[in-house]
Amino acid sequence: MKIIMLGAPGAGKGTQAQRIAAKWNIPHISTGDIFRANIKNGTELGKKAKSYMDQGLLVPDELTVDLVVDRINQEDCANGYVLDGFPRTIPQAEALDEALKSLNDSLDYAINVEVPDENIINRMSGRRACLSCGATYHIVYNKTKTEGICDKCGSELVLRDDDKPETVQKRLSVYHDQTQPLIDYYTKKGIIKEVDGTLDMEAVFNAIVDILGE
């Protein structure tokens, strides 16, 4: 079962991708993890990616696709995988399709976790992060025992710049410009499946299970 997850930043697709991976015992693959693993292991692809990242540049599509294809060719992906955060653009999607085609392979599902922008802005501006241990909370959905203090290490929590409403709005604009066309792309291919991301986490996961089958 080869799946890609679509959805705006903060739609909860990463959480659902992890749950899919756990239930069907397939790897959850995010491009960030791939970059970090290759850089850490000093692979040729990793060195190339690092040279761009060190300059604050985006890793080119061609190299990103090479890294993803290298990852999905590994043994643990024999029964499938969940791609999270890739592809983000039509050129990436086309390059991935071409690469899979050369392996006589193709994607089975593109699952779009649909959440209105307003909900996402409210959700993300309620997030609080601990910069000491990395734990994250939410002022409504995942409160700490003591307001503003991390349950795990006792440090003060902060609203990260990434989660501020104005930043979230910018990220959503980029998403709609670049990634929204992917929904049309995968709709034409007949593999798109929509789930209502405004439901609680369990209900969203149950909807995905209904799509993928037990």
Catalytic residues: 13, 88, 127, 160, 171
- Nearest-CA neighbor of 196 among 115, 84, 109, 110? 115
End-to-end CA distance of the chain: 12
What one-letter code names the amino acid at 179? T
What's the gap between Cα 74 and its chain centre? 20
H or E stretch at 109: strand 109-114
Q: How many CA atoms lie within 13 A of 50 on its CB side?
A: 12
